[in-house]
Amino acid sequence: MSRDDHLLPLAMRELPPPWNDLTHRRRPALAELPPTHAEQALEVLRASLPERRHSVHDWDEPLRDFYDERDDRTLDEADAWLPRLMPTTADVTRDRVSQVLAKWSELGIPSVSSPPTREQIDVTAAEWATSVRQALASDAFALLERGIHLGHASEAVRLAKAYVRVGLAVEPAVRLLLTLGRPRGEEALLALVHDDEVRDFRPYIRSRLLLLRRPRYEARARKPASDEEPLLPPVVRELPYGWAAGFQWPADLPAAEENVARARAILLACRPAEPVPDPVPAPAWSGRESGDEEPPAWLEVREVMRNLMPYAAHVTRERMFEAMRECALLGIPGVPPEPDEEEGSRFVRRWTTWVGGWIAGEVFTWLGLYVDDEALVTPWAMELAEQYARCGVAMEQAVMTLHRYGTVTLSREALARIAADGTLPPQVRELATR
């Protein structure tokens, strides 16, 4: 066998049992190892760490489609050939991958010709070698997590950060840092969210950091805001409802005159005087709005805010600046790390408008779903709904409220004006015509 035929480095090929076992027997055997084997786990991590960034299962589209529409029995049989022909790390060779592909070809796996091409062998060999590294590193991080209190924290942190940077065993590495907690694990995670090598794993790391830092937010949220500068009108600050998708009104709230009067007062207090520069996004973002695959950064900002400001009474200038500093610390895109006065003021204005808009949106939703007496909402609700839709605040909820009262002439006329207004966003006009 030529030296180049091996797909794993010598240190991995010489790992002791059960670490070198690539069959189903490895994990049960590792589960029986006591946490005192931490040094051995660290050695596995050092041996398995690649020198450059790796992808896991970056296969081509025909094979990906096959997995999406898979015949589980065929795939199970295909996957079983990998550890069957390569039961230990010393057996992971290009020649044996070639043998596996020959079996796959017989099973009708797409992207594998008969005989397999050199390119097919090269791609599968690289992916299988990476998968082995990933599996062994994940098991090593899991063992360390069980016994991290026994020591080895500095080396474990160094290796966890290194694995995140190369994109391998990211979730187990981050879980280990979470288990370490403050200060060491938290400091490592904060460093990673600002590391350019981390790339597309940053949102995941930030989400874990939010879990770790949430107790701080909750402690802050328990403090009264009586000595802080409020940013929302008094009638809004009296709201007893907290965050859900917005500041969601309870579904069982009776449609009594006093509740309708409160709804009207809130909409009047929050109504925009002119179109806002940054239209208020829909609170329950799904990705369909703009065809995006990744959620927008404002969702992460909102997650920080909903913890620091759980109720409308907590929406103060002081907490807005706290939220901005926290978002900068977490590396959330679009948040200035060291904002000047103008940037800070712009951040506060935008988010005060958005929070007020989400509250108004929940009010419109409640009116449309639960207030059946049209006399209670005519004409003021129709006038306010049109004004909100034209100004880019709670647009969808406002238009849907107009549809809800479509038997009212004022609602139909408002919908017609919105649909015909070429200055409004296409999605708002389209929504008005439904």
pLDDT tens for the chain, residues 1 to 434: 444 699 999 999 999 999 999 999 999 999 998 888 899 999 999 999 998 887 655 545 555 554 455 556 777 888 899 999 999 999 999 999 999 999 988 888 777 888 889 988 988 898 899 999 999 999 999 999 988 766 788 999 999 999 999 999 999 999 999 999 989 999 999 999 999 999 889 999 999 999 999 999 999 999 999 999 999 999 999 999 998 778 888 888 898 999 999 999 999 999 998 999 888 888 776 554 444 567 788 999 999 999 999 999 999 999 999 999 999 999 998 888 888 888 899 999 999 999 999 999 999 999 999 999 999 999 999 999 999 999 999 999 999 999 999 999 999 999 999 999 998 889 889 999 98
**Cβ(97)–Cβ(79) below 8 Å:** no
**What token pair was written down for 411?**
């609602």
Residue 346: CB atoms within 10 Å? 15
CA distance 9 to 13: 6
Q: What is 146-204 written as a DSSP string?
A: HHGGGS-HHHHHHHHHHHHHHTSSHHHHHHHHHHH-TTHHHHHHHHHHT-GGGGGGHHH
Q: How many helices (H) and strands (E) does the chain have?
A: 20, 0
pTM of the shown model: 0.81
CA distance 50 to 73: 33
The CA–CA distances, whole Å, from 60 to 50, 104, 242, 293 equal: 22, 15, 46, 19
